[in-house]
Structure 1
Amino acid sequence: MTKSHVGNEIARKRELSLLKSLLRRKNIPQKSWARIISEIIGGTRKTASRRLADESVLSLGELFAIADHFKTTVTAMLQSDVPAEKIVPGARKALLRIGKSQCACTVVTRKSAPEAQDLFVAYEDEAEECLVVCPTDDAPKGKAQRGVLHLHVDAFGTSGPVVVIVDDEQTATLPFFRFIQIDGGFNTKYFSHPEPVLALLETRPLPDGYILDWTLADGETSRGLIEAIRRVDKTCPIILLTGTIQARIENENDIAELVRTHNIDVLLKPFPTSIIVEKLKSVLNRQTQMHFAAEAEY
């Protein structure tokens, strides 16, 4: 199995111990666990018992089935308490990059250079202002690298619609990034500043939607980025997030103009993340229906 395939497997699956934690919180007797698992995700009780004993992995589809059964969300399951023996000292939040895909992760690195057996390495990305983890063969030249001792993926890879998030506050954005990707089923790409997105607009296919923070670093706003997006895509959903609209009247006027001329949606901070997920799904579903209707008329 290639390193890329190893990374994709990590990104798509989680330990069955997450389900065990959920069953404990629901006060379900342990003798009933195998029966419940077999009813939710299929298979026999014997198979379910073996999976519990081995603490094998859950596919993304199985996680959603479990979340639906217990009327919770995948995010809530992933945020369950981690057993004390699984807490790893020295862990840092980072972005895992596999090919063109990336997702949030937690990583523990060596204090020295990578060693021959290291499948992944970590390096500081000045442009993104964060620690980045990637397969050893994909590591950029000329950057100081450390070997990865422990890698814990915080979000699943997905083949859903591509949604770009731009926000310069990385610490606050990563949990949001995680929710959009896991609960929303979107293929989410995060950037801390607009320049990489401008480069992305030169490629095809274009992203399916954008979530932009109004206020970016160095006093910059998302106005220029919105205008650039609309030059190449007139209809894709753009959701603008702002917490300053009530503080300065010029912000309100600027944003009102963008709403009128570029067909964007505005959400005031703080906001429930689930609203953004449903807004994106609603707009994308409506566009899909319009596309099929146009084809039918043709």
Structure 2
Amino acid sequence: MQRSILFLFFALFATVLGQGFQPKRCNVGQKKADRAVIRQQFTNYREVCDWYLTYKRNRVPTLKSFTVPTSKRAINRFSSACECIVKKRRSTRGTPRLARPAGFTPKCTVRAQKLLAAEVKQPKQFCLLWSQLQWRATGAVPFGGNMNIKQIYNACDCAINGTPTTTDEPTTTDEPESSTTDDSSDSSTTDDSASSTTDDSASSTTDDAASATTTDAPTTTTDSSTTTTTSDSTTTTSTMTTTSTTTTTSTTTSATATSTGLLPIRRNAIARPGRQYSNGKRAAVEA
């Protein structure tokens, strides 16, 4: 029994917690009419309502249907309509007062003015609420990511103080990277190396060519050989002279052979042993 009661208690608690804040009578009467006005006056009306309910406010950001924007009745009506839109209770906390960042001064620009005009129908009435403080928390912005805090302040300077003084907001230009310079340096180094290699190769080739075309002094070799052969009464003298000329590109070999003619030999001048000739007749003689 106790377990059943405990289970029902937790189930009821979870149901209530899951439902969250549920405002009443949102679809009838004044709340319904005010919800329609808010949807018509603000492009991102959910973000505007969520921002408006975050802190306690002292005016409403539009005059449409709210004739006295600083009255408690107008503030209550606007807050009640926003509670119906975002299902969130209005806060009773005061808006924190923050110092404006050093070096920043709101300056009206055309771009900021156009951005705000795209978000609200009555920029001046919104800016009278926004500009009550010099700076607002960056975590609470009324238009989601469409405008940042500085852009809203610049746009409100246009809405409250007059026409734009500049056409565009100042932008930061990044310095160019040094990759181009590095690439150029690398390229020049490569070219120098290539030139150096080419020059060295050319020099080496020229030197090799010069070495290859060097002509050595002609070398002449003369061999003289004399051969004398004596056989009985026949003498033969042979003389050979060889001349060799050598160069790198061509080799010329000349040979000159000079042979002396055979001396005249008479047929009957030499008598062979054991034989005798007489009157043209051959007779055998005993040894």
TM range (shorter): under 0.3
Alignment TM-score, normalising by the size of structure 1: 0.22
Q: Larger radius of gyration, structure 1 or 2?
A: 2
Judging by fraction of residues, say which structure has more strand: 1
Alignment TM-score, normalising by the size of structure 2: 0.23
